[in-house]
C-alpha cells in the first residue's frame, strides 16, 4: 500500500494509545502558552525561537527540553493545559482513548500542591471528553532513579488521593543501575488496590530487566520491552502468556536504542506472536505522532491493511477499558477494514 493510502487508512482507524508521558506530550503551542505564563522559567516565548529550541538534536537535548517543560508546571491550570493540548492532538488523529503516564512525585518535588495536580488532571480529563471526544485514563509511575522513597510516596499519593480514571501503576526513568525488584512491595500494594502493573523494562537494558518486571512487579504490560528479542525463552513467554508490549519505535531510534526503524526488533516480536502495540512515548519531543508510528512501521515492514488493523486491535485489547468500550472500538476497526 503506498504511503498516502496507508496514512488515510491509519487515520480512519479508531485508535488507542497506551504509552505516552504527559509532560513529554507537550507540543510547541502548549509550551508557548506555558512559557508566556511563566517567563521566569527562561523558556523561549517567541514561536520561531521556541521551535528551534524544541527541534530534537540528541538525547541530552531531549532531556533539557523535557525538564524545561516540567519546570513550568506550577498548578492546576498548567496541568490542565497539558491534558487538553494532548487530547486535541489525539482527536486530530482519530485516537479515541489513551492511558497517559503521570509522574506525581516529580511534580510534588517541584512544589506543585497535590490537590492542584489532581484538580488539573480531573478538569482536563473532563474537558478532553467533552470538547474532543477523547477518553483519558491515568498511569501514575515511579521515577525509578529517585529510589524507594519515590516508590513509597507515589503509592501513597495514588491510593490516598486516587482520581477518577487512574487505572495503572508504573515505573519509569533510567533502567541502568535501577533494579526492578526493589519496587516490588509498592507494586504488590497497588495491584491489591485494583491498579494494573505496567512498568518500563528492557528499553535500555537487557532481557533480565523484563524478566524482573514480570516476576517481581507482576507486569501485565511492559513499557518498551525492546530487548526481549535477545532471549528466545522470553519471546516464547511473552507470546504464550499474551503479555502486551508498549512499543515506541521512533523513541527507540531517537534515543539510539536501535539504529533505524528498519532494524527495529518489532518485526521479530510480531513473527514470534508477541502482542505488539504501537505508541509514541514523548511525541512532539521526538517529532512523531501515533499516526506517524503506524505509517512508519507499516512502510518499514510492508504490512497489509489487515496487519495494520491488527496492531490497532492489539492496543484496544491490551487497554484497561471495560469490555463494552473495547467491543465498540473493535467494531469500528472492523468497519474500516470492511470498507477498504
- The answer to whether the beta carbons of residues 38 and 72 sit under 8 Å apart is yes
Residue 2: per-residue pLDDT: 52
Asked whether the predicted pLDDT for residue 19 surpasses 90, the reply is yes
203 tagged catalytic: yes
Alpha-carbon Rg for the chain, nearest whole angstrom, is 19
For residue range 242-292, what is the model confidence (pLDDT) as tens digits?
999 999 999 999 999 999 999 999 999 999 999 999 999 999 999 999 999
End-to-end CA distance of the chain: 11
The candidate with the shortest Cα–Cα distance to 202, out of 233, 223, 219, 218, is: 223
Q: Kindly provide the residue ranges of all beta strands, DSSP E only, lying in 237-294, ordered along the sequence.
A: 245-247, 276-278
Residue 340: per-residue pLDDT: 78
* CATH code (residue 168): 3.20.20.140
For residue range 133-181, what is the model confidence (pLDDT) as tens digits?
999 999 999 999 999 999 999 999 999 989 999 999 999 999 999 999 9
Sheet strands side by side (includes 15-21):
15-21, 95-102, 135-143, 166-172, 196-197
In this prediction the pTM is: 0.96
What does pLDDT average to over the chain? Answer: 96
| CA-CA-CA-CA dihedral for 281, 104, 66, 30, to nearest 10 | 90
Q: Which helix (H) or strand (E) holds 17?
A: strand 15-21
Measure CA 136 to chain center: 12
Helix, strand, or coil (residue 59): helix
Angle, helices 290-301 vs 305-318, to 10°: value is 130
Distance CA 109, CA 160 (A): 18
Q: Please, which pLDDT band fits residue 52 given cuts at 50, 70 and 90? A: very high
Domain that holds residue 216: 3-338
With a pLDDT cut of 70, the percent of the chain lying above it is 99
Cell 501503576: give the residue. 169
Instruction: Name the active-site residue from 116, 203, 291, 293.
Output: 203
Q: How many domains would you assign to the chain?
A: 1
Helix, strand, or coil (residue 112): coil
b/e sequence 23-38, b meaning 16+ C-beta within 10 Å: bbbbbbebbbbbbeeb
Measure CA 204 to chain center: 16
Asked whether the predicted pLDDT for residue 59 surpasses 90, the reply is no
- The answer to whether the beta carbons of residues 318 and 57 sit under 8 Å apart is no
Distance CA 10, CA 307 (A): 11
Residue 161: per-residue pLDDT: 85
Amino acid at each position: 500500500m503506498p504511503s498516502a493510502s496507508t496514512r488515510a487508512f491509519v487515520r480512519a482507524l479508531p485508535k488507542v494509545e497506551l504509552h505516552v508521558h504527559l509532560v513529554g506530550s507537550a507540543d510547541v503551542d502548549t509550551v508557548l502558552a506555558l512559557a508566556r505564563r511563566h517567563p521566569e522559567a527562561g523558556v523561549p516565548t517567541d514561536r520561531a525561537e521556541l521551535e528551534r529550541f524544541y527541534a530534537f538534536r540528541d538525547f541530552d537535548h531531549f532531556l533539557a527540553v523535557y525538564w524545561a517543560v516540567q519546570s513550568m508546571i506550577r498548578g492546576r491550570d498548567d496541568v490542565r493545559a497539558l491534558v487538553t493540548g494532548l487530547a486535541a492532538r489525539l482527536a486530530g488523529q482519530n485516537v479515541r482513548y489513551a492511558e497517559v503516564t503521570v509522574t506525581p512525585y516529580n511534580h510534588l518535588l517541584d512544589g506543585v500542591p497535590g490537590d492542584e495536580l489532581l484538580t488539573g488532571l480531573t478538569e482536563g480529563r473532563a474537558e478532553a471528553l467533552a470538547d474532543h471526544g477523547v477518553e483519558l485514563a491515568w498511569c501514575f509511575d515511579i521515577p525509578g532513579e529517585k529510589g524507594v522513597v519515590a516508590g513509597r510516596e507515589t503509592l501513597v499519593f495514588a491510593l490516598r488521593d486516587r482520581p477518577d480514571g487512574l487505572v495503572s501503576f508504573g515505573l519509569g526513568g533510567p533502567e541502568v543501575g535501577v533494579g526492578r525488584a526493589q519496587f516490588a512491595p509498592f507494586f504488590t500494594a497497588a495491584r491489591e488496590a485494583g491498579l494494573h502493573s505496567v512498568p518500563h523494562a528492557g528499553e535500555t537494558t537487557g532481557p533480565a530487566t523484563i524478566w524482573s518486571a514480570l516476576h517481581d512487579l507482576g507486569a501485565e504490560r511492559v513499557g518498551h520491552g525492546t530487548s526481549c528479542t535477545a532471549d528466545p525463552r522470553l519471546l516464547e513467554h511473552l507470546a504464550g502468556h499474551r503479555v502486551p508490549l508498549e512499543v515506541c519505535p521512533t523513541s527507540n531510534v531517537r534515543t539510539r536504542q536501535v539504529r533505524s526503524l528498519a532494524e527495529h526488533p518489532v518485526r521479530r516480536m510480531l513473527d514470534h506472536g508477541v502482542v505488539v502495540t504501537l505508541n509514541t512515548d514523548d511525541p512532539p519531543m521526538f517529532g512523531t505522532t501515533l499516526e506517524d508510528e503506524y505509517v512508519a512501521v507499516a512502510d518499514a515492514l510492508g504490512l497489509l491493511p489487515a496487519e495494520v488493523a491488527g496492531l490497532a486491535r492489539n492496543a484496544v485489547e491490551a487497554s484497561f477499558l471495560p469490555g463494552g468500550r473495547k467491543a465498540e472500538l473493535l467494531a469500528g476497526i472492523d468497519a474500516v477494514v470492511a470498507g477498504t
